Amino acid sequence: MVESDKQKITRNRRYARQVILPQIGSEGQKILGKTSVLIAGAGGLGSISSLYLAAAGVGHIIIADHDHVEESNLNRQLLHSEVSLGIEKTKSAAIRLTELNSSIKITPLQTKMTRQNIDSIAKKVDIFVDATDNYNTRQILNRASLKYNIPFVFGGVQGFDGLVSCFVPGRTPCFECVIPCPKKENNSLGIIGAAAGIAASIQAMETIKLILNIGTGEDRLENRLLRISGLDMKIKSIKLEPDPECTACSDVDP
């Protein structure tokens, strides 16, 4: 589709402060506008990552979730507000993101990510942003990442702490190499909203860097797991190694 003069003017004004960055420029902005991102989860992580990616001009954001907005979500899930209580999270998300940037496409998917629907979703996107809260869904995303060669930007949060890494097929270990399946999950643990905000902001930054191929693997969170401790404000970068016995990626050719 040919961009109109009006669209060019709008784009130049809206994104002026990032287009002047040499790592982005007008060509990079066009690439962002042609990129499709899946944000799996419209909760604490998905709220912040989706807002920043929409603000940056990512052309198509698919946001998937199966829940409805509850009052207990509002301490951290900043896509939603009191007027959103009771409605579908993806509907609330689509309304807010469209208010922020009506020039991009927002596709709400009110569904769980399953092994049955992930293939049809994956074929429409260039990158996965993990904003889920359970291992099973992350495993589904990881397998699809490997199958379709789609980068997977992982984020996790608990209490005051956040975790972020980038799993890129052929260049890094996969999610299941690094984080084994827990014997039991507890999704009712406490969380301070700002912890999700910090982790999700880093996810958005890494997503943009991956889309635009900014920096090298060492500059991005490839082969590294970043742990942010909010209580003592210490950040630790942990080097990651592939697991040769990983059942997910050990048989995948690099």
pLDDT tens-digit readout, 97-107: 999 999 999 99
- Enumerate the domain spans of the chain: 9-239
**Beta-sheet strand order (sheet of 224-229):** 105-110, 60-65, 36-40, 127-130, 152-158, 161-167, 224-229, 234-239
CATH 3.40.50.720 fits 9-239, yes or no: yes
pTM: 0.93
- The dihedral through the CA atoms of 125, 48, 110, 160 has a sign that is positive
Give the pLDDT of residue 218.
84
pLDDT tens-digit readout, 165-207: 999 999 999 999 998 888 776 667 799 999 999 999 999 999 9
Are 170 and 149 in contact by the 8 Å Cβ rule? The answer is yes
Q: Torsion angle, CA of 137/191/234/128, rounded to 10 degrees?
A: 20
pLDDT tens-digit readout, 21-65: 999 999 999 999 999 999 999 999 999 999 999 999 999 999 999
Give the pLDDT of residue 254.
42
